[in-house]
Amino acid sequence: MTATAERSSTGRAGWHRRTGLLPLAYLGGVVALGFAHPVVPQSRWLLVHLLLLGAATNAVLIWGAHFAAAILRTATPPHRRGEAARLAALNAGVLAVLAGGAAGPAWAGVAGAAVVFAAVGAHLWVLAAWLRRALPARFAVTVRYYLAGCAAVLTGIPAGAWMLLRDDDLRPRLLLFHAHVNLLGFVTLTVLGTVLTLWPTVLRTRMHEGAARATRRALPLSLAGLGCLAVGALAWWPVVAAAGAALFAAATVLVAVPVAATARQRPPASFAAWSIGAGLGWLLVALAWDAVTLLTAPTAAAAADRFDAVLPALGGGFVAQVLLGALSYLLPMALGGGPGPVRERTARMEAHWPQRVAMTNLGLAVYLLPVGAYVRIATALLLLAALLQFLLPAARILLSRTR
């Protein structure tokens, strides 16, 4: 084995080569379930949790630690045993939740939720310790977004575990609380915090001068919105919940303004950039749709039913596109090897990107319209094909040996 290959198997490149397969495995599960869903029990629930609990949560823990260490200039530890243990616990818990929620027994899912809670709690503890010990950093607000997101999901996990055990009149409120706190609190806060530094890096341009200030201002506004959403959903005060969604949308707009300004000075010209940008656009659409749904629903049960229509925009339009765009940029860079190999990997990840972006967004837009069953099946197949166009080159890159 050459010195380069040895470093790739034991250092940063080797770490990302192994951990990068984790979100890809869950995304592969999404594709498999997309074809097999008619014969799989609880297929819709499984699909949502494969994407959000499996793929997105792994990506948040892996890359959240990566960005936090870089921003805070934390010394790289001689080993990653603690981080590896957290990821191992997280995925053991995720698999237990998926099995218990889809096929039972319910206690297995609850036990899995407890393990996921512990893994995210340990991640929160580590990031908080890094922030406490770090010297003042210009972009430390990103790590505060990560901490807020982790705290949010720790409040949402018990509600999900309770719904595995009980199905009573409180379920619609718990479902709305669980979905909003986990999806907006955990995933979306993490994305909004990361966009500050990732977006200009993807565009290969300088950060907009107002981006850091806008991101700092957006954090308390988004937390106020999330708090109103959580309280409004649990108590079923629809006006409060809708106001929370509007506040969260306002915080997203605050972050999106410098994002758009940066895109004007250097227009996006890659799958990564277009996918992340389109994902943020879908987030704004979903938040507006969600606010109207909460405000006009006569009961919590009706609001929970209508939220099913918002989920594809949030999960497929926002989360999946941002996740795929970010990984398309980050994985080739993280594996290292010099400019040549990075350019080669990036080119493989970017192949046919205009077709992929167009097919994904047009397909999703048609899927969300009141169309017939056959049209919806056809558009769902197009979305799965676009996902496969990401998964195949990504898997080949991660599984290939470094020469």
Domain boundary assignment for the chain: 3-399
Please tell me the predicted confidence (pLDDT) of residue 263. 95
The pLDDT of residue 329 is: 95
- Containing 236, the helix (H) or strand (E) segment is none
What b-and-e string marks burial along 250-278, b requiring 16 or more CB atoms within 10 Å of the CB? ebbebbbebbeebbeeeebebbbbbbbbb
The whole-number pLDDT of residue 2 equals: 40
Distance CA 290, CA 255 (A): 19
Secondary structure letter of residue 164 according to DSSP:
H
Alpha helices in 266-337 (DSSP H): 271-296, 300-312, 321-334
CB atoms within 10 A of CB 371: 12
pLDDT on residue 400: 83
- Rg of the Cα atoms in the chain: 20
All residue ranges of the chain with pLDDT < 50 are 1-10, 402-403
CA distances from 135 to 131, 132, 141 (A): 8, 8, 13
Q: In terms of residues, how long is the chain?
A: 403
Domain 3-399 matching CATH 1.20.210.10: the answer reads: yes
- The overall pTM is greater than 0.85: yes
Q: Residue 256 is which amino acid? A: A
If phi > 0 it is left, if psi is from -120 to 50 it is alpha, else beta; for residue 266 that is beta
Q: What is the pLDDT of residue 4?
A: 43
- Residue 264's nearest CA partner among 253, 252, 256 is 256
CB 362 within 8 A of CB 385: no
- How distant is the alpha carbon of residue 127 from its chain centre? 18
CA distance 186 to 159: 14
